[in-house]
Every structure is written in structure tokens, then in C-alpha cells.
Amino acid sequence: MKNFPFLSSSQTLLLFRIILPLFFVAHAVTRIANETIERFAGFLSNKGFFVTTVMVWGITLYEIIGDIALAFGYYTKYLSLGFILMLIMGNVIIHYENGWWVGEHGAGGMEYSCALILGLVVIAATKNEKRILINNQ
């Protein structure tokens, strides 16, 4: 019997590549469902950006379409890089002024985004396996 986590390294990395993008998809779908695109666009406009509604829709669609492709193993290095750049910009524009802590110890800080960046680096550095690995040790 295998020991915890009962998966091989390849299976664990595949699971990680499938699950991590769901965080971005959930974020984008929530933005659409809660109709906060215009609010986010207004925030970016106050920061000096222009064509912000188009920008926010672009970010939202990238989060949905890009993460579906990432989860299926397509263009993992390029998509990961795009998400990393997006997260860095989010940290600079939004989260930095709120400090490091996201939740309990703060409000809207950078820690979660930095954890996602690290996860995306792992995905980008991993050999791309498009097939599901069942019996691979």
C-alpha cells in the first residue's frame, strides 16, 4: 500500500495543474455573477488606466479561457507566465498598499497572490503531461 498522499509525483503535479486554475476561474465567474466588472473598471480608472471595462473583460476572459487550457495542459509555460504577470500587476496596483496578509491579520494583502505565483512557477517548470497518469509511480 502506498503512503500518503497515495499519488505519484507525476499524478500530484497533474492534480495541481488541474486544481490551481479553478481558483482563477472561480474569481472570474464570481466577478461576472456578482456584476462587479464595472466596479473593478472604475477602480482601475481611478488608478489612471483607460478603456478599463474592456481591460477587465479581457482579464476575466483570460482567467476563464486561459485556465481551462492550462488545466488541460495546453501552453502551460505561456499561460502561467501571463497569469504571473497579471498577479504581479495586481500586487502592485491593488494588494501592496494592504500589506502582506490577506485575511485574518489584514485585508487584501499580497500573500495569496504570491502563493499563486509560486504555484504557477511549479506548473510552468513541470513536464507537461496531457494524459491522466493512473499507474505511474
Q: Is 3 inside a domain boundary?
A: no
pTM of this prediction? 0.84
- C-alpha radius of gyration, the chain, whole number: 17
Domain that residue 27 falls in: 9-125
Q: Is 31 inside a domain boundary?
A: yes
CA dihedral 99, 102, 108, 110 (to 10 degrees): 50
Q: Is 133 inside a domain boundary?
A: no
Q: Is 135 inside a domain boundary?
A: no
Q: Is 87 inside a domain boundary?
A: yes
Residue 105 has what pLDDT?
Answer: 64
Residue 136 has what pLDDT?
Answer: 46
Indicate the number of domains in the chain.
1
Residue 56 in grid coordinates: 477587465
Please list the ranges in the chain whose pLDDT falls under 50: 131-137
